[in-house]
């Protein structure tokens, strides 16, 4: 039998040596997953028996190899929901929650009973699911090109009434042209030249199509801008996430288009530039 405190201390040392950013937190979350208890319950958990210790060792070894924590537990928290994630889908990050905060505030200002929202490149369904769950009156539509990611999104959006389609965000939802109140997106935005700087958890496990987007990282952003210009009604809004270093170049994509005004950049909760917003001009 191994005391929980001992197992956690040893695991944290190993994960720290492997370069994991949050070794103690990851050690606790993995052990809570193995024991099937909330993380806080580890304080009063019984000593590990042989089976639990072995299961924990297997997961620790995988985490030492920098396999994402969320792939090991099979879930990722996003706002008020736990999403199913795994190989083939981009793991949602807490930073994206700031975009959803802005979107929900914007929806409260829309003077229609059932605002139309589109999520371009939904991935796991994180954004679309959050909006549908937290603003039940909205008519939410989402599109995803990857077959693997589409499967994860379908599971995560089940029962929320989201219109999920498989296809390219560049030509999606022609039937909604000019009728959408809000377009949201977390597109790929990492420049190809930045490949080596990406952490192993992301570079080696998130799908490349969800990460990289041309030499400057803005190819998908340009597609989002073009699609949003087509979908939005006059006065409708678009919000799209970008990298911190794109605080000027991402908004410039929308400024360059005659379709938008009131282009602005918004920070995440840590105060870092995180997403661009723009309003559709009158046609």
Can you say which residues are annotated as belonging to the binding site? Answer: 121-125, 144, 186-189
Question: Regarding predicted confidence, which is higher, 262 or 213?
Answer: 262
Contact 231, 178 (CB under 8 A): yes
pLDDT tens-digit series, residues 84-134: 999 999 999 999 999 999 999 999 988 888 999 999 999 999 999 999 999
pLDDT tens-digit series, residues 10-65: 999 999 999 998 999 999 999 999 999 999 888 888 888 999 999 999 999 999 99
Direct distance between the N- and C-terminal alpha carbons of the chain, in angstroms, rounded to an integer:
71
Residue 198 pLDDT > 70, yes or no?
no
pLDDT of residue 120: 98
pLDDT of residue 110: 86
Can you say which residues are annotated as belonging to the binding site for S-adenosyl-L-methionine? Answer: 121-125, 144, 186
Q: How far apart are CA 81 and CA 130, in angstroms?
A: 8
pTM of the predicted structure, to 2 decimals: 0.91
Confidence of residue 263 (pLDDT cuts 50, 70, 90): very high
pLDDT tens-digit series, residues 134-187: 999 999 999 999 999 999 999 999 999 999 999 999 999 999 999 999 999 999
Confidence of residue 196 (pLDDT cuts 50, 70, 90): low
Helical packing angle, 97-108 and 126-134, nearest 10°: 40
* Over residues 212-232, mean pLDDT: 91
The percent of residues in the chain predicted with pLDDT above 70, rounded, is 97
Q: How far apart are CA 146 and CA 113, in angstroms?
A: 32
Residue 195 pLDDT > 60, yes or no?
no
pLDDT of residue 193: 62
The percent of residues in the chain predicted with pLDDT above 90, rounded, is 78
pLDDT of residue 71: 92
Contact 145, 153 (CB under 8 A): no
Nearest CA-CA partner of 89 in 145, 133, 29, 128:
145
Can you say which residues are annotated as belonging to the binding site for substrate? Answer: 186-189
Residue 197 pLDDT > 80, yes or no?
no
pLDDT of residue 207: 76
User: What tokens appear for 217 in the block?
Assistant: 């990282």
pLDDT tens-digit series, residues 42-53: 888 888 899 999
pLDDT of residue 216: 86
The edge-to-edge listing of strands for the beta sheet with 139-144 is 163-166, 139-144, 116-120, 180-185, 232-241, 273-280, 260-267
């Amino acid at each position: 039998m191994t005391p929980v405190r001992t197992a956690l201390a040893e695991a944290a040392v190993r994960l720290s040596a492997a370069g994991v950013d949050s070794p103690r937190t990851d050690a606790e979350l993995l052990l809570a997953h193995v024991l099937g208890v909330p993380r806080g319950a580890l304080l009063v958990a019984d000593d590990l028996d042989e089976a639990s210790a072995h299961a924990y060792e297997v997961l620790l070894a995988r985490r030492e190899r920098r396999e994402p924590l969320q792939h090991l537990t099979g879930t990722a928290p996003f706002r008020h929901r736990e999403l199913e994630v795994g190989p083939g889908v981009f793991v949602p990050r807490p930073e994206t929650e700031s975009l959803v905060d802005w979107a929900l505030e914007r929806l409260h200002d829309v003077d229609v009973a059932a605002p139309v929202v589109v999520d371009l490149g939904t991935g796991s369904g994180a954004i679309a699911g959050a909006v549908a769950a937290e603003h039940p009156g909205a008519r939410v539509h989402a599109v995803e090109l990857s077959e693997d990611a589409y499967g994860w999104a379908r599971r995560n959006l089940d029962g929320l009434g989201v219109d999920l389609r498989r296809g390219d965000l560049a030509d999606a939802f022609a039937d909604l042209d000019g009728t959408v109140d809000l377009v949201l997106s977390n597109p790929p935005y990492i420049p190809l030249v930045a490949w080596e700087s990406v952490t192993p958890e992301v570079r080696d496990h998130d799908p490349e199509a969800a990460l990289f987007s041309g030499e400057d990282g803005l190819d998908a952003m340009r597609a989002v801008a073009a699609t949003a210009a087509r979908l939005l009604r006059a006065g409708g809004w678009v919000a799209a996430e970008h990298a911190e270093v794109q605080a000027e170049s991402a908004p410039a994509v929308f400024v360059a288009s005659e379709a938008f005004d009131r282009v602005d950049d918004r920070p995440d909760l840590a105060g870092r530039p995180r997403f661009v917003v723009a309003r559709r001009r009158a046609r």
